[in-house]
Structure 1
Amino acid sequence: MDEVVVVRTGSGPEVLLVHGGASPRTTWGGLSSLADRWTLAYVHRRGYPPSPAPRTGRQDYEVDALDLAPLLVGRPHVVAHSYGVLGTLAAVASAPDSVRSLTLIEPPLAFLVPDDPDVARLERLGDAVLTHGMDTDPAELREFLRVAGAPVDDGPLPDGVITGVRRAHGGRLPGESRPRLDLIRRAGVPVLVASGNHTAALERICDALAAALDAERAVHPGAGHFVAAAPGFAERLDTFWRAHEN
């Protein structure tokens, strides 16, 4: 089988959850209580078991978009995090009427904020990690991992973090992505853009993305990059989905 695996739990209307560089469990654990009302459909992107390895041997948001397209047939709500936003936007832009709502959490879309030194630095750090993997300058690697929410201190990197860096190594750079935000906005897709107020560059990217999509904006601190685990965020999602359950 070459298809990505989707693990479903709960009952009610479907919510498709698209993780980024971290696993679905790490990314979405804070939303488990919502399974009482919603069917939570956890997509496992390529390279994340039990899904198969990436077709090209690397993480690629364009392949993600192809994988996601058939999962939109039932018109789910869609929530995407970090790198997972890139493929999600591409898939939704190709068929904007196929989703009930779209929630986007801290995506790496630096092009939305040109000439901002903080945003440019964050992009450079991310590109370095994708390009060089564990050979990235150690200080820059740790700086990026902390922004990305990895459990990093001054000691040796945990095995799980090393595995994540190696998985990301060689991935398609986010800066190559130019999603057709105009098509999503023109279709009137209800959009929520969320962030965790832990990194100024990501706040500015999310502000710009919300403006481009005429989206609602939510800021939920307390869990860093893993906004889905932040206090009050699950309740915010439930309210947003209920408002657009049609």
Structure 2
Amino acid sequence: MDDVVVVRTGSGPEVLLVHGGASPRTTWGALSALADRWTLAHVHRRGYPPSPAPRAGQDYEVDALDLAPLLVGRPHVVAHSYGTLGALAAVADAPESVRSLTLVEPPLAFLVPDDPDVARLEHLGDAVLTHGMDTDPAELREFLRLAGAQVDDGPLPPEVAAGVRRAHGARLPGRPRPRLDLIRRARVPVLVVSGGHAPAHERICDALALALDGERTVSPGAGHFVAAAPGFADRLNTFLLASENGG
């Protein structure tokens, strides 16, 4: 089997959940109550069991190919962090194939050129993806904290170190230029969400919402794992219902 695995729970219209660097459970666990109204389709990106390992490193271009056939049923798409890159590419290729698109703290630094906070975030992310555990220790921990990991100056917890190794060698997120104009032109309902914990994420999300003519909201309280923030599940549910009614 070479296909990615999608685990579905609940009933109702499908919500395709695309995680980033953390597991689906870590990323989306706080949304479980939405299964009373929606079919939650948890995509396991390559390298995240039970999906197969990637042939090389993590790659948003491969993610886009994996996601394309999952859009056949016209789901709502909700994507987080690195997972937004593949989701944006897949949706831009077939914007009529989604009911809505929710994007949570995407790594799209190109949207905010010449901003020092955004440039710093991009530098840290690129360093970790390029060097893995050999990244400068201070920069590694700075990035991990921005990415939601609970780390101190001591040895990294085993699960955090495993995540760094899995991310090592990934295609860098600064290269893609997703066709945001195609998504906007198709009038796809868009919600862009940040966690209120880092200026760089706020500015990127502001710029993305403007580019896509989307709704913009901030859900603080859970750092980068915004889906676990108080009120996020209710806000997402409201947006999904509005998109259903509008579609």
Question: What TM-score comes out, normalization by structure 1 length?
Answer: 0.99
Q: Which amino acid aligns with 1:203?
A: E
Q: What RMSD in Å do the two structures reach over aligned CA positions? A: 0.5
The equivalent residue for 1:233 is 232
Q: Secondary structure at the match of 1:222?
A: coil
CA distance in 2, matches of 1:234, 1:111: 29
Q: Are 2:168 and 1:144 equivalent residues in the alignment?
A: no
- Cα distance between partner residues in 2 of 1:53 and 1:232: 34
- Listed as ranges, the matches of 1:68-147 within 5 Å are 68-147=67-146
Distance 2:64 2:115 in 1: 28
Partner of 1:44: 44
Aligned to 2:154: 155
Provide the rounded CA distance (Å) in 2 between the counterparts of 1:168 and 1:154. Answer: 21
Q: Residues of 1 paired with 2:25 and 2:17: CA distance?
A: 11
The corresponding residue for 1:62 is: 61
Three-state SS of the structure 2 residue aligned to 1:48 is coil
1-structure distance, mates of 2:208, 2:176: 14
Distance in 2, Cα, partners of 1:63 & 1:178:
15
CA positional deviation for 1:98: 0.2
Whole-angstrom CA distance in 1 between matches of 2:229 and 2:214:
20
TM-score (norm 2): 0.98
Map residues 166-185 of structure 1 onto 2, 5 A cutoff: 166-185=165-184
Look up the SS of the partner of 1:25 in the other structure.
helix
Q: Secondary structure at the match of 2:141?
A: helix
Deviations 1:194-240 (A, max 9, x none): 00000000000000000000000010000000000000000001100
1:186 counterpart residue number: 185
User: AA paired with 1:146?
Assistant: R
Structure 1 residue identity aligned to 2:165: R
Residue 155 (structure 1) shift: 2.3
How far off its partner does 1:151 sit?
Answer: 1.7
Match of 1:29 in 2: 29
Instruction: Provide the rounded CA distance (Å) in 2 between the counterparts of 1:14 and 1:152.
Output: 35
Match of 1:14 in 2: 14
Runs of 4+ in 1 over 6 A off after TM superposition: none
The answer for the alignment partner of 1:4 in structure 2 is 4
Residue by residue over 1:81-110, the C-alpha shift from the partner in whole angstroms, topping out at 9 and shown as x without a partner, is 000000000000000000000000000000
Alignment coverage as a number of residue pairs = 245
TM-superposed deviation, 1:154: 2.6
Structure 2 distance, partners of 1:124, 1:156, is: 23
1:46-69: CA deviations, max 9, x gaps? 0000000012x2000000000000
Partner letter of residue 135 of structure 1? D
